Structure 1
């Protein structure tokens, strides 16, 4: 697959081109980059992000087979999201080792996107955990009581069950939450803000 590299530093372009060539990519330096990018057919662009990046959507519309990887000076969730929304298939820190840029391009060629772990964690932090999102209010109340330091026997008396039945009900709830016991259940509930009184 032909690849064009756009970066202000010639040494950076040459170094990256060398790495890409080693694994079978054909690096091209077209005189008319815009025309080259608009040509139909599978081709890739690795570019250092900067001014005028808004035309990326237009390029992707004109050549839907174009694979784009953006190199950014500061990789954070905002930069990552911005360039993905603009139509890039991958976003990598420009200071990353060439192998990381190559990996992002290889994934992009196969319609996958590498997301740095730190950014992935921030993205999924907003997705509700299905284990706790459907937890009955009664079970949330049990967890709040346990978190306040009550024993199972005290919880049982408070909510109207025998101690034995309360142990059975809690074991069932722990199983549904996918945790091993009280401590893990309270950690999970705390992580999702269930222990806070509303």
Structure 2
């Protein structure tokens, strides 16, 4: 079986390097390349890859939203994230969007090939940093604790900031802000931002009172 690959990265030199890597690898065929999420979706429609190697921070359309749209259009496509970033703003939205695996660009060639083999089989593959972050989030969710970033989002929300204003302040996307808010609601047992702020003040998670 030959695995059909689509390489998505906004840096041509990275795409060239990956294409060169798979040119000499048995069982893999690069069927397309894309420089951003919008182009990735268009190329995927034409080439029908088995696996997409997806960067995250790209112009026009980022990787997480591209993953969500690809998975919606073609649920059988596997997506292996290959990125430089391992923060919660990158890892969590990508996994929630439907990425099969998450690997960092400092991975060795054997590590990448092993990750691809696992991805083809539908097995989750996580870089150690990403796995540690997810485990810490699971533990935090179990005891209801908010992460540092969630507290930042909640603090700005309490000050009346919109999702767009919060995103600009924290240098994250609006979609990521919404994801954080959903996690906050779940942990606090509320359904909207007004309740979240009120409960946070009651529990002492926010300071200064609601009339600040």
TM-score by length of 2: 0.50
Q: Deviations over 1:8-35 (max 9, x none)?
A: 3333222222322313210122686433
Partner-residue secondary structure (3-state), 1:96: coil
Residues 90-169 of structure 1 mapped to structure 2, 5 A cutoff: 90-121=101-132, 123-124=134-135, 126=138
Deviation at 1:92, TM superposition (A): 1.0
* Whole-Å separation in 2 of the counterparts to 1:59 and 1:120: 23
Which residue number in structure 2 is paired with residue 47 of structure 1? 54
CA distance in 1: counterparts of 2:16 and 2:46, whole angstroms: 24
Aligned-residue RMSD, C-alpha: 2.9
Distance apart, 1:124 and its partner CA: 4.3
The answer to whether structure 1 residue 29 and structure 2 residue 29 are counterparts is no
Q: 1:143-195 CA distances to partner (integer Å, 9 max, x unpaired)?
A: xxxxxxxxxxxxxxxxxxxxxxxxxxxxxxxxxxxxxxxxxxxxxxxxxxxxx
TM-score in terms of structure 1 length = 0.53
Q: 1:77 to 1:104 in 2, by over 3 A?
A: farther
2:9 corresponding residue in structure 1? 7
Q: Aligned with 1:29: secondary structure?
A: strand
Equivalent residues in 2 for 1:162-177, closer than 5 Å: none
Q: Secondary structure at the match of 2:68?
A: helix
Alignment size in residue pairs: 128
Equivalent residue number for residue 180 of structure 2 = none
Q: 1:123 to 1:88 in 2, by over 3 A?
A: closer
Aligned residues of 2:49 and 2:77 also touching (Cα < 8 A): yes
3-state SS in 2 of match to 1:112: coil
8 A contact 2:31–2:47 mirrored in 1: no
Aligned residue among 67, 70, 78 for 1:59? 70
C-alpha separation between the residues in 2 aligned to 1:11 and 1:5? 12
Structure 1 gap ranges (5+): 128-198
